[in-house]
A and B are shown apart, each in its own frame.
Chain A
Amino acid sequence: MTRESFHKYIKDLEKDVMDMGGMVTTAISRSIESLKSLDADAANRIISDDALINKKRWDIEEKCINLIATQQPVASDLREIIAVLSIVTELERMGDYAEGIGKIVLMHGREPLVKPLIDIPQMAEKTVAMLKKSLDAFLKRDEQAARTICSEDDEVDLLYEQVYRELLTCMIENPATITRATYLIWAAHNLERIADRVTNICERIVFLVTGTITEVNVSRY
């Protein structure tokens, strides 16, 4: 095959995206663990590690720019590089949301949680699963899988509604819980936003495969 080195650069780029995805899924999972146990040390690590996610994004962007400038990619190669530029932006924002949950842990302090966390960890699990599946769909150029993942966002939205209702009830019944309940709503909101960002990645996968940019999923929020 001609241009083996160029095709290797593309494969390396895909690996970089998978590595960055791994960093983000770890950050999301750890952020919820730190919230469950109100572990400030763990939260601080998540916050400081976000700089590594940001750096990874810039590194990948630089590689994309170099590839466009030097290799004149066209057709699906060009769409892939453009898709990667968009995907790493989404991943970087997801990293910020995970970092945000870490900051929520610090703001919450050592006061007990207003209620045991059940739905929020479920939201995190679903969100992480969606993200992993979306990156897999990217590697496999699986348009159908990408569309299916988008529909799973509705489940995350329903869980968010549930969390919101419960915490609202909590605040009404006991105004002393307002601050702590608000923190949990913010954390849940961050997870809901992460799931939305995953659907953006899925739309880019559809674009990569078909060449058409379409809105596959319209979020409730």
Chain B
Amino acid sequence: MEHSPKIEAVNLNLYYGDFLALEKVNIKVPGQNITAIIGPSGCGKSTLLRCFNRMNDLVERTRAEGKIIIDGSNILELDTDLISLRKKVGMVFQRPNVFDLSIYNNLKFGLRIHRMINGKDEIMQTIKVSLEHVGLWQDLKDKLKKNARTLTLEQQQRLCIARVIMLKPEIILLDEPCSVLDPISTLKIEDLLRVLKQEYTIVIVTHNMQQAARASDYTGFMYLGRLIEFGQTEQVFTKPKENLTENYISGRFG
């Protein structure tokens, strides 16, 4: 990795009560690349992802040790501005969670909450740019008053990504974003991520190894709360360094 990482976890431990969900995780996520985190169910990949915007704080009795450094600041510090953090580090979830509102209001919602823009023209312009970014503008420009839940699942997921982009994040976290989508929609979302990585740092958790291999630049393999291996995707899938990684990606366990 030539440049400093965008996200760096240093000796990260995370407890849910007494349960050690993440153990001594050290990872450097490169900026403006797509990093995939793979591993069997329960290995801690979603837990790790949620550390990057401190969504784990919403779970009771969660405790983190170590550091997570984003742009030079340790976001685990108590005085971290969480609202600012979650604007900078946006998240897209497994199931599209568009609000039961019009497409326009879905997108305007974040701007209003964060008091980002007031003028109607400026809001419209921001919406247009975000929808263009996710390839939805042509399809939806005349249907912005339509309820977002009438869109296809793929469109809804794109809308969720647009909603994140509206807030001008630097990092986009995606937790199994394609698991409810059909294969073609999945490929289209992957194509979109490839475009978005030119501007954003993307971290995607997926249980679909083939997706990780296809769509990412870097891959981290986790097992039982530990990061077993991390490297360029081509290297991980052709010459993994760890036997555990080799066994997992070749389907010998998990």
CB–CB B213/A71 < 8 A: yes
Of B18-26, B124-132, B142-150, B230-238, the segment with at least 4 beta carbons within 8 Å of chain A is B230-238
Nearest residue (CB) in A for B183 is A2
Nearest residue (CB) in B for A66 is B234
A72 within 8 A of B: yes
Query: Contacting B237 at CB < 8 Å: which of A2, A3, A6, A69?
Result: A69
Taken together as a complex, chains A and B put the C-alpha atoms of A2 and B213 apart, in Å, by 16
Query: Contacting B213 at CB < 8 Å: which of A3, A5, A72?
Result: A72
Nearest residue (CB) in B for A68 is B238
Quick one: given A65-B238, A69-B213, A69-B234, are A2 and B194 in contact (CB under 8 Å)?
A: no
Interface residues of B in 189-246 (CB under 8 A from A): 190-191, 194, 210, 213-214, 233-234, 237-238
B187 within 8 A of A: yes
CB–CB B214/A71 < 8 A: yes
Quick one: given A2-B184, A2-B187, A3-B187, are A66 and B238 in contact (CB under 8 Å)?
A: yes
Taken together as a complex, chains A and B put the C-alpha atoms of A51 and B234 apart, in Å, by 26
B188 within 8 A of A: yes
Residue from the set A2, A3, A70 with the largest chain B CB neighbour count within 10 Å: A70
CB–CB B213/A70 < 8 A: yes
Nearest residue (CB) in B for A63 is B234
Taken together as a complex, chains A and B put the C-alpha atoms of A4 and B184 apart, in Å, by 13
Taken together as a complex, chains A and B put the C-alpha atoms of A5 and B215 apart, in Å, by 10
**Shortest beta-carbon distance from A104 to chain B in Å:** 39
Residues of B within 8 A of A2 (CB): 184, 187-188, 191
B-contacting residues of A (Cβ < 8 Å)? 2-6, 65-66, 69-72
